[in-house]
Chain A
Amino acid sequence: MKLNRNLSQRLGFGLISLMATLTVIPIIVVVIYIITQGGGAISLQFLSGFPHDGMRQGGIMPAIVGTFYLTLGTAIFSVPLGVAAAIYLAEYAADNWLTRTIRIAIINLSGIPSVVYGLFGLGLFVLFLKFGTSILSASLTLSIMTLPVIISTSEEALRAVPQAFRTVSISLGATRWQTIRRIVLPEALPGIITGVILGLERAAGETAPILFTGAAFFLPRLPNSVFDATMALPYHLFVISTQVPEMPFQIQYGTALVLIAFVLGMNLIATVVRSRARARRQW
């Protein structure tokens, strides 16, 4: 009986450890594989040149710049709105049906398939508001998709600030907003930044929401205004891996490498901000 118990424990632990290992190893393999396969493609010319010869030669600069524009545009819309919504939920909202409805709405926003965001962006921004297939439409679409991530992580950061900070500030005669602005927000800032970067990271890597709202197959120049369509890294990777025959592998892997470097670089920044803030925290 005793042996049996120990045996089952050993089997169980072995099985679980094996599963965790099998989950993690492919992740490492994938990242290393892309780095080794794509590393050779990376050169100054690849990063700063336009694609030519039907995208089979040259660089991917317009796609890099486009993804940068889209991420920036997403940040402009989603950060103020998301952080303000988080402040409302953490500092103002009463525990009533309206707040519960807001929470359910946020959960739903986070679950809506990315391609449905694309449809919505097409219906509202591209056609109804007549922004056309543009950086503006794509950024707005991505912003709404990013909103739930920013709201929930920022709210968590705000709630982590001890209640005593607020009580003391108010007792010294500060108003509620002054307390939030001068005391709560600065304390919660690293957490908010982490959440914002994680949200934007997701937006930067998405393809489906920009398919019909702002992504261009190929552009011989950079976009001139927010009403122009733009190339973008994820869409470009999709195009050169499915739509262009006889595409050189090296350019494909190189593009994939730049994309994951962009996305994982943001992830790394978020992790560093979070761990430094944790180390510095005194409460």
Chain B
Amino acid sequence: MESNLGWKEYLITRAIRVAGYSAIVFVTLIFYFLLREGLPTLAEVKLTELFALRWYPIEKYFGILPLISGSLIVTLGAALIAIPFGIGTAVFISEIAPRWAREILKPLVELLGGLPSVVLGFLGILVLAPKLRLLLNLPTGLTALTGSLLLGAIAVPTVVSVAEDALDSVPRSYREGAWALGATRWQTIWRVTLPAARSGVLTAVMLGVGRAIGETMTVMMVTGNAPVLVTSLGGLFSPVRTMTATIAAEMGEVANGSVHYHTLFFIGMVLFIISLIVNVTASAVVFRSQKRAERVLS
């Protein structure tokens, strides 16, 4: 009985330990498969052709710059919406709102985070795009701007929840100190609380932007899918195509192992590396600020 128990405990502990390592295994596996299927591109397509201005795989044009520029312009637009509205909402929830308003706002923002992106894309096609077309007098409503507006909405919940956590973790004594010195509540928020939470707010912004770059279905549905190089902000008002949308739209139709197939994996590899950089930097900011907080408290 005793030894039986010991064996069971040993096996379970082992299994739990292995499960604990699984996240590392999966990240490695994902990167390995992206490399395995994506790197052959470098042997098949010349670098000058890969970083060229034309994406037209049927005619063997594999220039990914239009796709990168498409992702950038849509993400930039989304960030311009999600950052002010996300941080504003977080400040409102954490610093200004009375309790009842907070109890309503938080679940609503979570609800937005839970809406499937395909539903937002669907509404984008049927409602938002026609409205924008009429409003701005454009030839088509399926533009980078439409994508930016919806992506902004998708990134807002991420920004709100991370920024709100950051504001919440600012010690109350900071605020009380500012009030005691005669600062108004607004001055306290603007000059004390927000600066004290800045690393967390920065993390919120980065994670929100990361979310926007990686979003697929919505942008594929509403940005018009034209792989055209965007050279100015005016590109917001014309159709574009992002890296994510290209993979989603074309992967279903390519032959496994073809140049096109490898190139799509190569784009996936680029997206993976971007998200790696964003997330490692964001978590480094968090770790550093934790250390600083520990120093201050000790």
Contact = CB atoms under 8 A, between A and B. Distances in A.
Interface of A: 5-6, 8-9, 12-13, 15-17, 19-20, 22-24, 26-28, 30-31, 33-34, 80-81, 84-85, 87-89, 92-93, 101-120, 122-124, 127-128, 144, 147-148, 151, 175-178, 198, 201-202, 204-208, 211-212, 234-235, 237-238, 241-242, 249, 252, 256, 259-260, 263-264, 267, 271
Contacts of B97: 20
Nearest to B283: A107
A57 to B, nearest CB: 19
A87 B16 contact: yes
A19 B85 CA distance: 6
Contact of A34 (B89, B92, B119): B119
A122 B216 CA distance: 16
Contacts of A9: 184-187
Contacts of B96: 13, 16-17
Contact of A147 (B13, B22, B251): B22
Contact of B15 (A8, A20, A23, A84): A84
Interface of B: 5, 8-9, 12-13, 15-17, 19-24, 26-27, 29-30, 33-34, 36-37, 84-86, 88-89, 91-93, 96-97, 105, 107-112, 114-123, 125-127, 153, 156, 160, 184-187, 189-190, 207, 210-211, 213-217, 221, 244, 247-248, 251-252, 256, 264-265, 268, 271-272, 275-276, 278-280, 282-283
Contacts of A147: 22-23, 26
Given A34-B123, A113-B213, 8 more contacts: A19-B85, A23-B109, A27-B112, A111-B279, A119-B251, A202-B114, A241-B221, A242-B221
Contact of A85 (B20, B34, B160, B186): B20
A267 B20 contact: no
Nearest to B213: A113
Contacts of B24: 101-102, 105
A28 B108 contact: yes
A43 B92 CA distance: 41
A169 B127 CA distance: 59
B162 to A, nearest CB: 12
A118 B283 CA distance: 25
A28 to B, nearest CB: 7
Contact of B125 (A109, A113, A242): A242
A264 B118 contact: no
A115 B123 contact: no
Shortest 6 CB-CB distances between A and B: which pairs? A113-B214, A88-B20, A205-B116, A19-B88, A84-B19, A9-B186
B119 A102 contact: no
Contact of A241 (B111, B116, B126): B126
Given A111-B279, A119-B251, A147-B26, A238 B214 contact: no
B119 A260 contact: yes
Nearest to A115: B216
Contacts of B22: 81, 85, 147
A20 B20 contact: no
B23 A85 contact: yes
Most buried by B among A101, A151, A177, A178: A177
A259 B89 CA distance: 27
Contacts of B160: 23
Given A22-B85, A85-B20, A208-B217, A116 B272 contact: yes
